[in-house]
């Protein structure tokens, strides 16, 4: 898989603050684009360290574990990443689109389908036949819930949870 | 101190806009989703059984292949059943959603009707008649004022004015007409018919 990157970011974290800032921006952009391309919403530190993203076998260059943590912490700071367990820092959730952006995408689709004042199941939104071809098709449940919560604060939706039923009503 | 425990300071949670019908719709839709997932699972199984049957036939195990195809047939009958159930669920969801819309329409009509009644109470028929009478009286009163201001002509004066107007019109008509001559017309001395007429008569005779 080839990702369009004008110049691959350096594998060693730079000491100079300006260079370091540019380098971290490049790495963050690369990681987010990589996961967007793969439609992946989680990162396993061990897996990603040995993946083609951090390890270029052709020139035998590899991003160090400390370097990777520096990049992931930067993503965490910008709100694109969240550690599942901040103590162990082994796995994290990646958001290459913010929950607000996902919420707006979902709501735009709801409006285009004239589905306001309609009840939807979470399965219907992310795995239904109607949502096939949309960007949020296949969206993981934890991120879907966050996206809908942003709509809830705008009073555009209300999450329904009772007994074994989970869904959302749009307004 | 009491303020700490009182509920006054707390924001009231916005009232839920989810109705009991919405909950029923959600439960039905969840059942529909489960059926769709079940259908996906069956479709995968059918495809798998078909491939196994093919392989068994290829290996010369006809009986086992037949058994596999029987299993596949049974799975297909299950698919048909789930299709019927899905159809029922979809119909029920549609009915529920439409019933909610109808309920909203009726509610809207009810509100409109009540507003109309209130407006009618504000203006009764007697009030309207009274207003119309007052308006008529006002117009008549205004007419009297106008008459007084314009010189207060009597009925006799009005007749004289009309007579004068007729005389002027008559005079204008007389002026416009041409004079009629009073001379006597001369006698027609031509006794003979013109030649042309003679010729035509002769032609007809022959």
DSSP result, B95-114: HHHHHHHHHHHHHHHHHHHH
Same domain, B104 and B159: no
Between A119, A162, A163, which is nearest B25 by CB?
Answer: A119
| β-sheet bridge partners, residue A94 | A81
Token pair of B195, please? 């030649």
Domain A99-170 top-level CATH class:
mainly alpha
Sign of CA dihedral B194, B196, B198, B204: negative
User: B163 and B98 share a domain?
Assistant: no
B33 chain-A contacts, CB cut-off 8 A: 121, 123-124, 128
For chain A, list the strands marked E by DSSP.
42-44, 55-56, 61-62, 81-83, 91-94, 119-121, 157-162, 165-170
Using the beta-carbon criterion (under 8 Å), do B26 and A171 form an inter-chain contact?
A: no
Report the distance separating Cα A86 and Cα B100, nearest Å.
Answer: 47
Given B105, B122, B139, which residue is the final one in a domain?
Answer: B122
Does B115 lie in the same domain as B25?
yes
Which residue segment(s) compose the domain that B141 sits in? Answer: 125-175
- Residue B117 counted as domain residue: yes
Instruction: Say if residue B113 is in the same domain as residue B165.
Output: no
Residue B184 lies in a domain: no
What single DSSP character describes residue B59?
A: T
Determine, for residues A119 and B14 on separate chains, whether the beta-carbon distance falls below 8 Å: no
Interface of A with B in 130-169 (CB under 8 A): 155, 158, 160, 162-167, 169
Q: Is A89 helix (H, G, I), strand (E, B) or coil?
A: coil
Same domain, B30 and B95: yes
Q: Domain residue spans in chain A?
A: 17-94, 99-170
Task: Please check whether residues B46 and B72 belong to one and the same domain.
Answer: yes
pLDDT in tens, B136-151: 789 888 877 877 777 6
Interface of A with B in 94-133 (CB under 8 A): 118-121, 123-124, 128
- What mean pLDDT is reported for chain B? 77
Note whether B157 and B171 are same-domain residues. Answer: yes
Distance from chain centroid for Cα B13: 41
B69 and B118 in a single domain? The answer is: yes
Q: Going by C-beta distance under 8 Å and a sequence separation of 6 or more, which residues neighbour residue A103?
A: A147, A148, A149, A150, A151
Q: Are residues B67 and B146 both part of a single domain?
A: no
> Do B22 and B91 fall within a single domain?
yes
- pLDDT recorded at residue B108: 94
Q: Are residues B102 and B25 in the same domain?
A: yes
- The number of folded domains in chain B is 2
Q: Using CA of residue A133, residue A160, residue A142, residue A151, what is the dihedral sign?
A: positive
Terminal-to-terminal C-alpha distance of chain B: 144
Q: Coil, strand, or helix at residue B50?
A: helix
Q: Which two tokens stand for residue A29?
A: 């952009």
Residues B92 and B133 in one domain: no
- Alpha-carbon dihedral A135, A140, A144, A147, rounded to 10 degrees: -70
pLDDT per position as a tens digit, B104-143:
899 899 899 888 888 877 777 777 887 888 887 898 888 7
Q: b/e per residue, B130-157, with b = 16+ CB within 10 A?
A: eeeeeeeeeeeeeeeeeeeeeeeeeeee
Report CB contact under 8 Å: A121, B29.
yes
Q: What is the pLDDT of residue B14?
A: 64
Tell me the chain B residues in contact with residue A121 when contact means C-beta distances shorter than 8 Å: 26, 29-30, 33
* Ordered per-residue pLDDT tens for chain B, 206 residues: 455 544 444 444 566 778 877 888 888 888 888 888 888 888 888 877 878 887 787 778 777 787 888 788 788 888 888 889 888 888 788 888 888 888 889 989 989 988 888 887 777 777 788 788 888 789 888 877 877 777 666 677 778 888 988 888 878 776 666 767 777 777 666 555 565 666 667 676 76
Q: Which residues, in sequence order, are CB contacts of B57 under 8 Å at separation 6+? A: B65
CB within 8 A of A134, min separation 6: which ones? A105, A109
Question: In the prediction, which pLDDT does B105 show?
Answer: 92
Cα angle value A30/A32/A35 (rounded, 5°)? 105
Does the structural domain A17-94 have CATH classification 3.40.50.300? no
Instruction: Express each pLDDT in A1-34 by its tens digit.
Output: 445 444 455 555 666 566 767 778 788 888 888 8
Task: Per residue of chain A (171 residues), give pLDDT as tens.
Answer: 445 444 455 555 666 566 767 778 788 888 888 888 877 888 888 877 778 777 777 777 677 787 888 888 888 878 888 787 777 777 888 887 788 888 988 999 888 888 888 888 888 888 887 887 887 888 888 888 889 888 988 888 988 887 778 898 898
């Amino acid at each position: 898989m080839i990702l369009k990157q004008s110049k691959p970011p350096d594998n060693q974290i730079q000491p100079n603050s300006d260079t370091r800032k540019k380098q971290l921006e490049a790495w963050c952009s690369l990681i987010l684009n990589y996961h967007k391309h793969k439609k992946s919403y989680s990162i396993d530190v061990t897996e990603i360290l040995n993946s083609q993203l951090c390890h270029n076998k052709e020139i035998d260059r590899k991003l160090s574990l400390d370097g990777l943590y520096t990049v992931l912490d930067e993503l965490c700071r910008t709100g694109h990443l969240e550690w599942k367990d901040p103590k162990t820092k082994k796995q994290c959730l990646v958001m290459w689109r913010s929950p607000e952006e996902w919420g707006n995408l979902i709501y735009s689709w709801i409006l285009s389908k004239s589905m306001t004042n309609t009840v939807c199941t979470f399965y219907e939104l992310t795995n239904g036949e109607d949502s096939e071809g949309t960007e949020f098709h296949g969206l993981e449940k934890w991120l879907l819930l966050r996206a809908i919560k942003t709509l809830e604060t705008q009073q555009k939706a209300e999450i329904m949870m009772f007994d074994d039923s989970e869904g959302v009503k749009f307004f | 101190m009491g303020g700490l425990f009182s509920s006054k300071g707390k924001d009231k949670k916005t009232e839920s806009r989810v109705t009991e019908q919405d909950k029923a719709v959600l439960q039905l839709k969840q059942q529909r989703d489960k059926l769709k997932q079940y259908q996906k699972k069956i479709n995968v199984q059918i495809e798998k059984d078909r491939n196994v049957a093919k392989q068994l036939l290829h290996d010369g195990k006809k009986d086992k292949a037949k058994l596999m195809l029987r299993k596949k047939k049974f799975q297909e009958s299950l698919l048909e059943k789930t299709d019927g159930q899905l159809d029922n669920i979809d119909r029920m969801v549609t009915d529920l959603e439409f019933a909610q819309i109808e309920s909203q329409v009726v509610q809207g009509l009810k509100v409109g009707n009540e507003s109309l009644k209130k407006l009618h109470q504000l203006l009764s028929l007697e009030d309207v008649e009274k207003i119309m009478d007052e308006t008529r009286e006002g117009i008549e009163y205004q007419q009297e004022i106008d008459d007084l201001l314009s010189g207060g002509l009597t009925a006799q004066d009005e007749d004289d004015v009309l007579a004068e107007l007729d005389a002027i019109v008559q005079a204008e008509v007389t002026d416009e007409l041409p004079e009629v001559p009073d001379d006597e017309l001369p006698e027609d001395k031509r006794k003979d018919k013109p030649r042309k007429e003679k010729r035509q008569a002769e032609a007809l005779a022959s």
